[in-house]
A and B are shown apart, each in its own frame.
Chain A
């Protein structure tokens, strides 16, 4: 069999050294996209003039085109039109691209979860004199998040894997390093299998954390 098991094992710690880049890019993009998606969903709920059709256009574009294409447009396309954008690093481009893309998906998840919160909860908030914003923060959002967590976890797992696409921008995340190992050693199976195992391990851990979070959020409803 032409499988160098030792090389496979040795490449694992080599790649793990760079896992912080993959995780870092994913976590930061998740946070930024979450913030953007909250803005999008508030616009959606209030049907804010002008902004509402723009937000639908945004969601339609970012859900309707491949992430890879979006990254190319952002990193290689835009600096051609706006030369001052050429200073953008591959890390910045990766963060911006992943965040903008993921926000479109997240806002749809949040929108669905918010619609699932019974309307009497808002009535109750208003009847005790809370403002709509207070109601969202204290009652509506916490209830929606509970419903959203399984989808959010799913989304985050997807984001971790999609972050591998950013190697095309020259970002040295784990897939990029796996490619380098493969190119050096010609041991493709070993290198790529190692990176696959690392992605898999990451998502298993996230899935486990997600279930713990779900359980905690379920407490008021047991």
Chain B
């Protein structure tokens, strides 16, 4: 289980997270939606301490930390519980596709090169990139890079995978291939927290949807509850705005 209690984070005078509490069960897929600047990404980055929150408690599986007395050792333990998929892929640019996956396994998890290689080959086959294993990230499309990013995360065999807007930087025609990989992961019972702007994806894949705005969790529930019967005004406004924008886009296309 992942449990977050009363997480606060400020940048100077700007309070980005104003007391976030959230529970995620093992195997659950949680989608976090909300307007930009609502703190979604910051929240995700606080979970693996890429950003250090100011206070609160984070428990992931058997690692419980109180941010107030976070040590380097605890940070390391917490980070080992999760893997992350980034908006801009963030593959290691000086490593080949295969090395992107094997290097963490060898340096962090102390696996043998041979074992790491076979894990990487296996996962690359699963995401359909076996023929690219000796390519460098720079020569891949965004969608391919993101699939490598996902394979790198899965290879670590983490307790949970954190997705930070995994399709936001992609050309529209490449979004599908990445969502497909994430969906198949969801089916394999991987615990996932996905910050996303893809509402239809959140609706289809998530077990639980969290709506964040202005540093708070405004509302959470099943996709059904959030998308069809939102209770809070803020949620309704956000969803309305999205559907208006969608119509505008459609109109533009028609014209």
Contacts and interface: CB of A to CB of B under 8 A. Distances in A.
B103 A138 contact: yes
Nearest to A120: B90
Contacts of A138: 92, 103, 107
Contacts of B90: 120-121, 123-124, 127
Given A124-B86, A129-B108, A221 B103 contact: no
A85 interface: no
A123 B50 contact: yes
Given A126-B79, A131-B76, A121 B93 contact: yes
Contact of A130 (B50, B93, B104): B104
A219 B136 contact: yes
B51 to A, nearest CB: 10
A123 B92 contact: no
B7 interface: no
Interface residues of B, number: 29
Interface string A122-142: 011111111100100011001
B94 A220 contact: yes
B2 interface: no
B154 to A, nearest CB: 12
Contacts of B109: 129
B94 A129 contact: no
B93 A221 contact: yes
Contacts of A126: 48-50, 79
A143 B152 contact: no
Given A219-B136, A220-B94, A221-B136, A127 B108 contact: no
Interface of B: 48-50, 76, 79-80, 82-84, 86, 88, 90-96, 103-104, 107-109, 136-139, 152, 156
B86 A120 contact: yes
Given A129-B156, A130-B108, A219-B136, A124 B91 contact: yes
Contact of A129 (B93, B104, B137, B139): B104
Contacts, number: 69
A24 B94 CA distance: 32
A127 B93 contact: no
Given A123-B84, A124-B90, A128-B156, 9 more contacts: A126-B50, A127-B84, A128-B152, A129-B156, A131-B76, A138-B103, A142-B94, A219-B136, A220-B95
Among all A-B residue pairs, the 4 with the closest Cβ atoms: A128-B104, A220-B136, A127-B84, A124-B90
A128 B154 CA distance: 10
Contacts of B48: 126-127
A64 B126 CA distance: 58
Contacts of A139: 92, 94-95
25 contacts: A120-B90, A121-B90, A123-B50, A123-B86, A123-B90, A124-B90, A124-B91, A126-B79, A127-B83, A127-B84, A128-B156, A129-B79, A129-B108, A129-B109, A130-B104, A130-B107, A130-B108, A134-B107, A134-B108, A142-B94, A220-B94, A220-B95, A220-B96, A220-B137, A220-B138
